[in-house]
Structure 1
Amino acid sequence: MTVARVLMTHMRTGALCAAGLLSACATVGPDYHRPAAAVIEKPSATAPFIGGNEAAFAALAPLPDHWWRLYRDPVLDRLVAQALAANTDLRVAAANIARAQSDVAIAEDGRRPQATVQASPGYAQRSAEEELLPGAALPSNFVYAASAGISYQVDLVGQVRRAIEAADADLAATRAAYDSVRVTVAADTTRAYLDACSAGREIGVAQRALDLQSRTTQLTRRLVRGGRGISLDATRSSAQEAQVRATMPGLLAAKQLALYRLATLAGRPPAGFDRDVAACTREPQLAQAIPIGDGAALLRRRPDVRRAEWELRAATARIGVATADLYPHISLGASVGSVGLAERVLGGIPTSFRWAR
């Protein structure tokens, strides 16, 4: 009987046995159910937002994935794209997704037959007492050992299914974590851009107010010198000018800080901020009403909420994995091999073959 024929015979036997056992299989451990006390299950979660009926908001429209494009500002689009490409936390999150996908593949392999092939040549001498021939002079020689086998674990109580369920939930949780980092990076970039443009506009307003107040102070002093005014008017105007001038350093610092944040988010040194943003003197305006949905839609799209729920789902599935260890494990398998002298490797000597099931 050839090696292939022996393997096929035992594989058929194992498959028939597995089919009979699988018909009686059950899955241990609890099934995941969203807690009844979860906020998303309450009627108030589907209620409209307070103030959501104002003209600036669109309550029924879904929020787009690239929500910052609602501004229709090419500079902002470029800044967000740069920040997403340069962010290290996003690369770590993407690597975690790849690892979780590998864990899913490993877990799914548990419900497939496993094949093994081994070969080991060597130079050895058998022990005479091991062969129950004490005192015999056994020769040293080159020997070999080769085997091939196949095995299948019967998922008797659903341990493999629970492991796959946990791995799938872990994968979904890592994807939610990636979405969370992506939302944070895009929001921080948009906020820094709006802060820089807002500070630029306020600096322009303050500079015009300072110029007007400085001109008023000069005119007031001329009136005082001409006898048409009193020194108190000049003092009051000078104090107002100093007050307006005192706001300038804070506005300049706020704009510079926003520019530094943008540079850092884009993976650049602070001095490498975008010069187009430095010249911005007006905040971008939304091209349409802001889509907000309702409370339930907000909870469904929040990545931190999704991540927490998927982690809870994975932990629930692992209860089943741990519970299954309390039950017997059944594996079906078969193997064939050949052991003998290296000079007659696979030479068809019947005494060199072995098999097991």
Structure 2
Amino acid sequence: MTGLRICALGVIACAVLSGCQVGKDFQRPESDSRIEWLPVSGEAAPSQPVAAPINARWWEVFNDPLLSSLIDRATQASLDLRIAATRLEQSRAAYRVSTGEQLPQLDGTLGYQRKRNSGKGLNDPSGQQGRAPFEQWDSGLSASWELDFWGRVRREVEAAGARVEMAESDQRAALLALQAEVARQYLALRGVQSCHEVTRQNLALARSSLELSRERLRNGVATELDVAEAAAQVAAVESRLPVLEQRQAQLINALGLLLAQAPRALQRELEQPVQMAAVPLQVPVGLPSELAERRPDIRRAAAHLHAATASTGVAQGDFYPRITLSGNVGLQALQLSDLGSWGARQFAFGPQLSLPIFNGGRLRGMLQLREAQEQEAALAYQQTVLRAWQEIDDGMSLYNASQLQQRKLQEAVQHNRMALAAAKRQYVEGVVDFLNVLSVQRALLSTQQQWVQSSTTQAQALVSLYAALGGGW
């Protein structure tokens, strides 16, 4: 009867003290509330970011079905995403282990031993005084339950739950990084293909100039120098093609790796050039207040701070006594036939209190470690938010500048084309020598390649901007 009263009092005390919990409750920092989209300084490009909801499939802004297909297939096949998924399962399993610590533990036993006791030692339960071996049969149930008076176990569960959030954010980060990398490599491939096409067009112009100089040489109005210079220009332009073809093969293989494909597996699918669609005049970039929920690194930093705060509470709880209710009931007999008899029964139950008295400063050192880790996590969160803010502002500036650069280079290409036509006409008329034609041809090729590169930079800048914004969720 006394034992039942003790158990009842323990349960009542646990219910009363369940509201007591060591450590402080986690509160998310407010440092991210200051974020806002700043207007781009200087001249504004035609396509501008606007504070509107981001499409979850943000890459569809490029209006390229093949790009969308590649990203979808990479999402299904990526080994990095599979690794992130397994790590998430690990964290969830660890969380289940932690939650199990809150519940009573019940174990069943069944054992058999054939043994012989010392005749000079403790009493021999068989009555043989150590002169002969005997058999012993045991069966029973044992239970134990730590009464979480101070909330130490609950803080452990809280920390484990925060680590699950960290793993979920890591998985989101891996997915966003994969989508952005597929888009960057794809856009780089299209840029190389466009540059290849521009080079071939300039090669045709150079060959036309070579034929023109040969024709004038046959007519006696040109020199061997003009022909040699024209032939050298043809060879110089031709030398660019192998490098571009190798770069194209390299980018196709890079995309194949992102899709977990063998080298050249995507060759037929990607070797044909595709004209990229123009981006819309308004590019939705979401709302500043939603940034902390979109960016995986900010979510992870917040979860890391949460886990560190809860771990500090666990370290504080180690200074308090631990109270455990335990008990067992079972049967023990020297003969198997007696194992089920009433006289073979045995039991024991009662509370156990464990209080740390001296541990060489281990608990104090652990608490100081956890507090320092919590401070580090808080600073890391602030740094993550500031870095995100900077990346977004840099991305918007780069996107704006790349558009303006592309516009000016387009004007330069048009003027160089006009200059080349005028130079050829004047060369035929004998007003200028062939060196002027070659000079304008080189300038045209250079500005055309710069224009293609600026187009690629603009598209990749938009990808980087969406990656900095955390994509769409």
TM range (shorter): 0.7 to 0.9
Partner Cα separation in structure 2 for residue 285 and residue 308 of structure 1:
36
Matched, 1:330 2:323: yes
After superposition, residues 13-92 of structure 1 pair within 5 angstroms as 14=7, 17-25=10-18, 26-35=20-29, 38=31, 40-41=32-33, 43=34, 45-48=35-38, 50=40, 56-92=47-83
In structure 1, what is the equivalent of residue 123 of structure 2? 131
Higher mean Cα deviation, 57-66 or 198-207? Answer: 57-66
Give 1:329 shift: 0.4
Is the CA contact 2:53–2:285 (under 8 Å) kept in the aligned structure 1? yes
Partner Cα separation in structure 2 for residue 132 and residue 227 of structure 1:
128
Specify which structure has the bigger relative contact order, considering alpha-carbon pairs within 8 angstroms and separated by 6 or more residues.
1
Q: What residue ranges of structure 2 are gaps of 5+ in the alignment?
A: 351-473
In structure 2, what is the equivalent of residue 111 of structure 1? 102
In proportion to residue count, which structure has more helix?
2
Is the CA contact 1:157–1:324 (under 8 Å) kept in the aligned structure 2? yes
Partner Cα separation in structure 2 for residue 152 and residue 281 of structure 1:
67
RMSD: 3.2
In structure 1, what is the equivalent of residue 183 of structure 2? 190
Give 1:320 shift: 1.0
Which letter maps to 2:300?
Answer: R
Write out per-residue CA displacement over residues 143-168 of structure 1, whole angstroms, 9 at most, x where no aligned residue: 21112122221111111111111101
Give 1:142 shift: 2.4
Partner Cα separation in structure 2 for residue 50 and residue 336 of structure 1:
76
Equivalent position SS for 1:271: coil
Equivalent position SS for 2:264: helix
Count of residue pairs brought into register by the alignment: 346
Matched, 1:321 2:325: no
Q: What residue ranges of structure 1 are gaps of 5+ in the alignment?
A: 1-5
Give 1:350 shift: 2.6
Partner Cα separation in structure 2 for residue 253 and residue 150 of structure 1:
69
Partner Cα separation in structure 2 for residue 213 and residue 11 of structure 1:
102
After superposition, residues 220-259 of structure 1 pair within 5 angstroms as 220-229=213-222, 233-234=226-227, 237-259=230-252
What is the TM-score of this pair, normalised by structure 2? 0.65
Is the CA contact 2:190–2:273 (under 8 Å) kept in the aligned structure 1? yes
Write out per-residue CA displacement over residues 54-73 of structure 1, whole angstroms, 9 at most, x where no aligned residue: 65345232223332233343
Quick one: structure 1 residues 351 and 126, their matched pair in 2 at CA, closer, same or farther if it must change by over 3 Å? farther
Give 1:35 shift: 4.5
Is the CA contact 2:62–2:276 (under 8 Å) kept in the aligned structure 1? no
In structure 1, what is the equivalent of residue 84 of structure 2? 93
After superposition, residues 143-158 of structure 1 pair within 5 angstroms as 143-158=136-151
Give 1:243 shift: 4.3
Higher mean Cα deviation, 164-173 or 178-187? Answer: 178-187
Matched, 1:202 2:192: no
Partner Cα separation in structure 1 for residue 267 and residue 7 of structure 2:
67
Which letter maps to 2:305?
Answer: L
Write out per-residue CA displacement over residues 295-332 of structure 1, whole angstroms, 9 at most, x where no aligned residue: 55344322122222212221221111111111100112
Is the CA contact 2:117–2:129 (under 8 Å) kept in the aligned structure 1? no
Is the CA contact 1:49–1:294 (under 8 Å) kept in the aligned structure 2? no
Give 1:187 shift: 1.4
Give 1:268 shift: 2.7
Quick one: structure 1 residues 58 and 344, their matched pair in 2 at CA, closer, same or farther if it must change by over 3 Å? same
Which letter maps to 1:130?
Answer: L
Partner Cα separation in structure 2 for residue 60 and residue 171 of structure 1:
31
Quick one: structure 1 residues 275 and 16, their matched pair in 2 at CA, closer, same or farther if it must change by over 3 Å? farther
Give 1:240 shift: 4.2
In structure 2, what is the equivalent of residue 3 of structure 1? none
Higher mean Cα deviation, 339-348 or 259-268? Answer: 339-348
Quick one: structure 1 residues 342 and 249, their matched pair in 2 at CA, closer, same or farther if it must change by over 3 Å? same
Is the CA contact 1:103–1:167 (under 8 Å) kept in the aligned structure 2? yes
Which letter maps to 1:329?
Answer: R
Which letter maps to 1:293?
Answer: G
Which letter maps to 2:80?
Answer: D
Quick one: structure 1 residues 288 and 275, their matched pair in 2 at CA, closer, same or farther if it must change by over 3 Å? farther
